Structure 1
């Protein structure tokens, strides 16, 4: 299965546990009721998540609050969604069930199940029209019972000014803004106001890769052109940035030509 453009963007930026912590604690209003006590996150390895879950395209899984034996008491599944699909809760619960099965296989059938927090970042064209939270609590609180909560963050309900104020300058705010507006017309007109986020993002850990992921997303899904990005002040930050922009644009053009050729051959053209 080929990743959608937003898959690459969210994985590049939000696989960093510190960024994920900041997003969960600072972006939602009212705050997520459990986020303040979450503690430090650790991204779970692909071996824990399991190959079948990877094929189903779950986004990011983290662990938190390790017990004395080292097993996590909390697991966090982060998903993102660009369309208001009614079966979204069923999909993420399917992922959750897989995570719990993998947990028991890893830690033993007698291990206490972690509490599951599922967060969905929604960046569709229109506001989410369903509930923003779903709480599934086990009856009696025994270790064998499942405790799971789903929270949805709708970027349509948060103004650009609030996103920038809450997340500050850098990759987090840039990613949220790019996801929110990427598929809407007029992107080239918005880019100059975001230059400070591009510039600040370059100074972050893994910043160049994160900026490149944002550039890829914009060039693949928005009406912005490579020339619009090259005209921004951040693009003159260094020779390395200029090379990154040109090679990214060239790579996407080559991939587009290759895809067109494959489609033509498949259709017998």
Structure 2
């Protein structure tokens, strides 16, 4: 993730791009007047992005459709027409004075696409635009479109487009006021504290509240994504600090071991792939074996440095001379070792 230009946008798309996470967020943050008309069980993410290609490094949009029933939960007879409500999420880690204009461009493209797919339509589906913001400073710009015009003459403004997206500035909310399902709330809390010095102190409590996420594969993947975001993506925590932080968490030991194990396995898979490529010229079996050893050595060295700092000469020498079997033993020890000596103990 360290190669990602904007890790904040990346982790937002990786987490809120999952319908169950987004549904948990919408369930707690949409107005009741809207919730009584929609069925979040029908929530579906559209594969399209409406961000300009040149804006991809600095902008991120997520679009969901959901069934809209005009008489839902009202006791009246249901209409036969299936209507759609587009839920547009725009993520910001910095205050953008032209964010409202950016959203309008997305909305126009959504409607253009709709008209292209329904050439005989005479109506447009509604779009509910939301800005999720967690920057280091409070959002200070107006969030209505008319505020962007240089002339504020009412007689002129009456003939210009106007709309106001919903702005949710999580950077200014108390933690207890951040609402959402467990997954969505965990993501939002980490996004809020990522710009703050209190992140190491707050992380154990955040993870403790997210304990139920560890009970299913998807939840564990989200936790892993967030920890990777904090270490590799943003550099806010190194693995050694993360290990210390997680020791103060109810679920810390299990999370840390899972995190390091998956981190290790990813590197090992890369090593195997390199071995397969080498095997084309060197012989398949020999190439795979060399690739596995190289992958283990590279990842183990990286993890050791991130967890214990720069390696002394004796440790470097032991790594160079180690067999594949010994590298595997040391890789397992790093999951529970307290000191560097513990990893290399006889």
Query: Do both proteins adopt the same fold according to a TM-score greater than 0.5, normalized to the shorter chain?
Result: yes
Alpha-carbon distance between aligned partners in 1 of 2:126 and 2:61, rounded to the nearest angstrom: 18
Consecutive unaligned residues in structure 2, runs of 5 or more: 70-79, 147-160, 268-298, 304-346
Distance 1:207 1:130, change over 3 A: same
Q: Of 211, 225, 228, which residue of structure 1 is paired with 2:241?
A: 228
Looking at CA atoms only, which structure, 1 or 2, has the larger radius of gyration? 2
Match of 2:39 in 1: 39
Distance 1:43 1:194, change over 3 A: same
Alpha-carbon distance between aligned partners in 2 of 1:228 and 1:246, rounded to the nearest angstrom: 18
What is the Cα deviation at residue 25 of structure 1? 3.3
Provide TM-score, normalisation by structure 2. Answer: 0.57
Match of 1:243 in 2: 261
Does the alignment pair 1:195 with 2:212? no
Q: Of 137, 155, 158, which residue of structure 1 is paired with 2:170?
A: 155
The 5-angstrom pairing of residues 4-83 of structure 1 reads 4-27=6-29, 31=31, 34-40=34-40, 41-46=43-48, 49=49, 56=56, 57-65=59-67, 72-83=83-94
What is the Cα deviation at residue 24 of structure 1? 2.6
Alpha-carbon distance between aligned partners in 2 of 1:194 and 1:5, rounded to the nearest angstrom: 20
Alpha-carbon distance between aligned partners in 2 of 1:211 and 1:230, rounded to the nearest angstrom: 14
Match of 1:90 in 2: 101
Distance 1:17 1:53, change over 3 A: farther
Distance 1:186 1:225, change over 3 A: farther
Give the RMSD, CA atoms, in angstroms. Answer: 3.5
What is the Cα deviation at residue 183 of structure 1? 2.1
Alpha-carbon distance between aligned partners in 2 of 1:62 and 1:34, rounded to the nearest angstrom: 15
Alpha-carbon distance between aligned partners in 2 of 1:205 and 1:54, rounded to the nearest angstrom: 35
Asked whether the 8 Å contact 1:127–1:154 carries over to 2, the reply is yes
Distance 1:202 1:12, change over 3 A: farther
Tell me which of the two structures has the higher relative contact order, counting C-alpha pairs closer than 8 angstroms and 6 or more residues apart: 1
What is the Cα deviation at residue 129 of structure 1? 1.9
Asked whether the 8 Å contact 1:132–1:153 carries over to 2, the reply is no
What is the Cα deviation at residue 16 of structure 1? 2.3
Distance 1:32 1:6, change over 3 A: farther
Alpha-carbon distance between aligned partners in 1 of 2:210 and 2:220, rounded to the nearest angstrom: 9
Distance 1:37 1:228, change over 3 A: farther
1:95-131 per-position Cα deviation (integer Å, ceiling 9, x unaligned): 1111111111122242531101111101011211234
Asked whether the 8 Å contact 1:58–1:79 carries over to 2, the reply is yes
3-state secondary structure, aligned to 1:184: coil
3-state secondary structure, aligned to 1:39: strand
Alpha-carbon distance between aligned partners in 1 of 2:27 and 2:217, rounded to the nearest angstrom: 20
The 5-angstrom pairing of residues 62-211 of structure 1 reads 62-65=64-67, 72-110=83-121, 112-131=123-142, 150-163=165-178, 166-167=179-180, 170-204=182-216, 206-211=218-223
